[in-house]
């Protein structure tokens, strides 16, 4: 296996930098000495994901919808296009926004990179493979996608983004790359975003039943966010067009995942089976041979360790939120008491 690729960038623009993966990218780039401009409209990302970065001298935050415009003060040498609703709860709620971000947003990000002579990297997804008839999925597989189903707004936005990126490289000579991200999880996920890991952890910590769709035998391959970020930056540094799969090839059934979360949280939760969503893939597993051979990349963090870290983060966040709420309630009670004292 080759050595993992790396490069020192001067200035990176990260669209969707307030999101789950995007915010981790911003953090990693800043830690490597790269100045970062984060662009996000916070339609699905969260300001608190990047609030710790606001005091960093190399960090700039621009609140904007990349489908409408994308302007930065100084040229970047790297553009990472990660803007997009990514969870079913989000893209089903924001179907047109998802399609516009994948089309117009990709166009604007490509134009920015082309004008600056920058490296451009598109965040695509394993969802371009649809409900695959090949397992594991390698980059040569064209997929099995329903273009008019409820998930199509996300699947087709990403497939179009790949086509646009490829055409821009061919027609304009833009330095482009495509990464297909498989199921990524870790700190900063939203408990109600509809994805299995945060949903199961939230339910387990609350002592609620874990809702497993269908019979729970459908599989996913879970890649911890730190590993995903390393793979993304390795693909950016290599210069390959791709697409290249970035994910963990260890498959888990959803029922296995639910039981593992119950075990790691120490919860007494039961399993409750609910209907599976339309067009929900039966299997999902990346072939990462290309990433290993070309980028020198492979995941390092197994599911149990990654889930422990994620559970610890959810616990800490829950305690912080409860402490903040209690503090606010105490403050309000003090104000009311003062007002009543004044009245008397």
Tens-digit pLDDT profile for residues 132-162 = 999 999 999 999 999 999 999 999 999 999 9
Q: Is 129 a catalytic residue?
A: no
Cis omega (within 30 of 0) on the bond before 136? yes
Q: What is the pLDDT of residue 279?
A: 87
Q: Among 91, 129, 154, 185, which one carries the catalytic annotation?
A: 154
Q: 229-239 pLDDT, tens per residue?
A: 999 999 999 99
Whether this model's pTM surpasses 0.85 = yes
Q: In the chain, pLDDT over 70 holds for what percent of residues?
A: 92
Whether residue 338 has pLDDT greater than 90: no
* C-beta contacts of 209-212 below 8 A and 24+ residues apart: 209/269, 209/270, 209/271, 209/272, 210/258, 210/261, 210/262, 210/269, 210/270, 210/271, 210/272, 211/272, 211/273, 211/274, 212/254, 212/255, 212/258, 212/271, 212/272, 212/273, 212/274
The pLDDT mean for the chain works out to 92
228's tokens? 């995903």
Q: 7-44 pLDDT, tens per residue?
A: 889 999 999 999 999 999 999 999 999 999 999 999 99
Whether residue 60 has pLDDT greater than 90: yes
Q: What is the pLDDT of residue 319?
A: 63
Bridge partners, 179 (sequence order): 123, 244
């Amino acid at each position: 296996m080759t050595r993992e690729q790396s490069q020192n960038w001067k200035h990176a623009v990260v669209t969707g930098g307030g999101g789950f993966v995007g915010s981790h990218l911003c953090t990693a780039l800043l830690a490597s000495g790269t100045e970062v401009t984060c662009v996000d409209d916070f339609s699905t990302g969260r300001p608190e994901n990047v609030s710790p970065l606001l005091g960093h001298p190399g960090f700039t935050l621009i609140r904007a919808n990349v489908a409408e415009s994308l302007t930065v003060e100084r040229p970047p040498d790297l553009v990472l296009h990660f803007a997009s609703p990514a969870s079913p709860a989000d893209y089903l709620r924001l179907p047109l926004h998802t399609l516009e971000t994948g089309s117009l947003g990709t166009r604007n990000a490509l134009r920015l990179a082309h004008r600056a002579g920058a490296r451009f990297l598109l965040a695509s997804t394993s969802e371009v493979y649809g409900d695959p008839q090949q397992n594991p999925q390698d980059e040569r597989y064209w997929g099995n996608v329903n273009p008019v189903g409820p998930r199509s707004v996300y699947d087709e936005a990403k497939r179009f983004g790949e086509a646009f990126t490829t055409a821009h490289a061919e027609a304009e000579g833009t330095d482009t790359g495509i990464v297909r991200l498989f199921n990524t999880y870790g700190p900063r996920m939203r408990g109600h975003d509809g994805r299995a890991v945060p949903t199961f952890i939230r339910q387990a910590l609350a002592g609620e039943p874990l809702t497993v769709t269908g019979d729970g035998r459908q599989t996913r391959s879970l890649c911890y966010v730190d590993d995903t970020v390393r793979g993304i930056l390795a693909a950016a540094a290599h210069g390959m067009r791709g697409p290249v799969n970035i994910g963990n090839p260890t498959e888990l059934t959803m029922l296995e995942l639910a039981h593992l979360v119950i075990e790691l949280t120490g919860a007494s939760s039961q399993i409750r089976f609910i209907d599976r969503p339309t067009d929900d893939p039966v299997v999902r597993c990346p072939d990462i041979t290309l990433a290993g051979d070309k980028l020198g990349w492979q995941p390092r963090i197994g599911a149990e360790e990654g889930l422990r870290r994620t559970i610890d983060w959810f616990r800490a966040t829950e305690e912080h939120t409860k402490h903040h709420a209690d503090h606010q309630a105490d403050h309000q009670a003090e104000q009311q008491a003062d007002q009543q004292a004044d009245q008397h």
